[in-house]
Structure 1
Amino acid sequence: MRILRALAALVLGTSLTAPAAAQAQTGTGTVRTDTLWAQALGVQKALTVYLPPSYHRGTSRRYPVLYYLHGKTGNERNWVDAGALHRTMDSLIAAGAPEAIIAMPDGDDGWYTTWGVLPDMGPCERDTTRREPAATYCVPWTRYDDYITFDIVRWVDSHYRTRADRAHRGIAGLSMGGYGAITLALNYPTYFAAAASHSGVLSPRLLPDSVQKSRGVKYARDREEMALAARSLWPQLWTAFGHDSIAWRGRDPQVFAERLASRVKAGKATWPALLIDVGVDDPWHAQNADFDATLTRLGMPHTYREWPGTHNWDYWRSHSPESLRFLLDRVAR
């Protein structure tokens, strides 16, 4: 039986941490990795999926889904391997929290947006520093927002027993993934009812205080100022966000919030529940505070929290229970 189970896992493109029936009996979820064709990217991609303890108990029960996005240089296994998100979810369920499926896609370093510039495949394919093969990392079509919202959501809804509607979907992420979670929730409010960001890059045009004082302007207006705002992220963001201020505005969470807020106030859209947290020593702390100020100015409901900590897994592991509870309270009750 063990050999047959292992062969089945290989055929399905999955890896199981333990026999599903045994895990259901012990109250622990199942973690597996699927492989799917991502039409928006033009390549095969990996997707790590957490199935709650009761999933394999022979019922027809359907579950809400939480999508967790990794940060820059991460992959679909980060939230499990570094964040122990599956264990945190098991603990919450054991304490009485509702069950949910968690889907953790491979987002490359794509910033969960459609890039402003098509990638140069040659240098990407010659990059040997990544553990991921060039065949899946060097994508010909960089539509990472469509990939998450359409390819991944459709795959999960068609392969698992989900409650396949907006009211039962939440999305979260850290750093680059925090940017992705917030922007996808604001751009696709008919798909996600709630979103949470840990240490997200949420105001990418915000200039450092010293530059604001010397230039008398708060947000970047040209390429030089965009590089100052992006700091260490500039080599990636100028490709993903584009080469001019118009392209950057078109990918700015503040602009998305303003646009959706106007539609909500006109009765044409629904505002997602938002949770934003950041460490007080995080290098992107000012961006999070600035985004909080924007949402407050717009009069749009949200939860904003600052905690001791910086931009690392110690912080994200310790605060992932809060995002899980926040999302579960809104999509699983």
Structure 2
Amino acid sequence: MAINRLEISNPAYTPDNTKFVTVHSSNLQRRHDIVLYNSNAQGENLPVVVLMHGVYGNAWVWMYLGGIHLAYEKVQAELGGIEFILAMPSDGGLYDGSAYLPLKKHADYDKWITEDVIAAVKQVQDTVSDSSRFYISGLSMGGYGALRLGAKYPNLFSGISAHSSITKIDDMAHFVPTELSEYQCDNQRETDICYWLEQNKSDIPPLRFDCGVDDVLYQSNLNLENKLKTLAVNYTFDSFEGEHSWEYWHQHVQTTFKFFAKLELSAKNID
């Protein structure tokens, strides 16, 4: 799949090692953005981490609220020589957050990530190819997106890591006043993370998630863990001190990078 039109930032005017991309999306029927970090990394078939934001965010928040570029640099020496391209897309711009779903009333925010974003990264990064492995992560609503898309499309992603996740669509009510009817999809089970985990349980890539004990979503994450115990799916759940905050995500996204680096090193050794 190729994207028909892309606008790419001029490196002469862009922060170092960073690239801004606007994608003309057929799935959204409008333009939306991706921020790439570590875009100057050298190599072939470099792996990509897709990082998805929460309900109030956009493509830039992981860097300019969460300092993810600094978090990545903190642990780079511990990644065993692995270089990741970090791809941070917008959720597609629905007013109160798209939840990265194929929404009946709006647009296909699911395929925006799984088709458009992946295709765009391959087009704008010479170091990324069809042989590159993609990993998926996110925070809050983006954590929900990472868990659901990783489970629904297990052959697209080589690992899943989620932070402070919304774990069911009802959790959106903690953050936005939108009626839940706005999140209806053609498939009535579409929003159910456990449905997709069960449907594809033999193919689910390595999965981890975490939540702070003072987070409004902590009980929801415990409930998801209890459900996962009944499924034949391998996972790791970690509880940490902290709440629903950028301070928490800046710290624990470092765990995500280390987790994905171990998976990438293992996959490279098999290759």
TM-score band, normalised by shorter chain: 0.7 to 0.9
CA contact (8 A) 1:203 1:252 kept: yes
After TM superposition, give the deviation of residue 72 of structure 1 in Å. Answer: 0.5
Check the 8 A contact 1:66/1:102 in 2, yes or no: yes
Does 2:35 align with 1:48?
Answer: yes
**Deviation readout 1:107-140 (Å, 9 max, x if unpaired):** 1211100114x14xxxxxxxxxxxxxxxxxxxxx
2:173 is aligned with 1:178: no
Aligned residues: 255
- Judge conservation of contact 1:273–1:302 (CA < 8 Å) in 2: yes
Larger Rg: 1
Q: Of 9, 20, 34, which aligns to 1:14?
A: 9
Partner in structure 2 of residue 301 of structure 1: 234
Counterpart contact for 2:79–2:261, Cα < 8 Å: no
What RMSD in Å do the two structures reach over aligned CA positions?
2.6
Name the one with the larger helix percent: 1
The separation in 1 between residues aligned to 2:246 and 2:172, in whole angstroms, is 22
Counterpart CA distance in 2 for 1:243 and 1:32 is 33
Change (3 A) 1:77 1:271: same
Question: 2 CA distance for matches of 1:50 and 1:64?
Answer: 12
Which residue does 1:159 correspond to in 2?
124
Scaled by the length of structure 2, the TM-score of the pair is 0.85
- Unaligned 5+ runs, structure 1: 1-10, 24-29, 120-141, 206-228, 265-269
Match of 2:75 in 1: 92
Unmatched 5+ stretches in structure 2: 1-5
Structure (1/2) with the larger strand percentage:
2
> In structure 1, how many angstroms separate the alpha carbons of the residues matched to 2:7 and 2:194?
41
Q: Tell me which amino acid in the other structure corresponds to 1:194.
A: G
Moved over 6 A (4+): 17-20
CA deviation string 1:9-59 (max 9, x = no partner) = xx9531548789xx6xxxxxx01211111110011111100125543xxxx
Distance change >3 Å, CA 63–CA 310, structure 1 → 2: same
2: distance between equivalents of 1:105 and 1:250? 21
| Residue 61 of structure 1: how far off its partner (Å) | 2.5
Task: Give how far 1:194 is off.
Answer: 0.7
2:101 aligned partner: 113
Residue 14 of structure 1 aligns with an amino acid whose one-letter code is S
**Preserved CA contact (<8 Å) 1:17 1:32:** no
SS in 2 for 1:184: helix
**Alignment partner of 1:278 out of 200, 203, 211:** 211
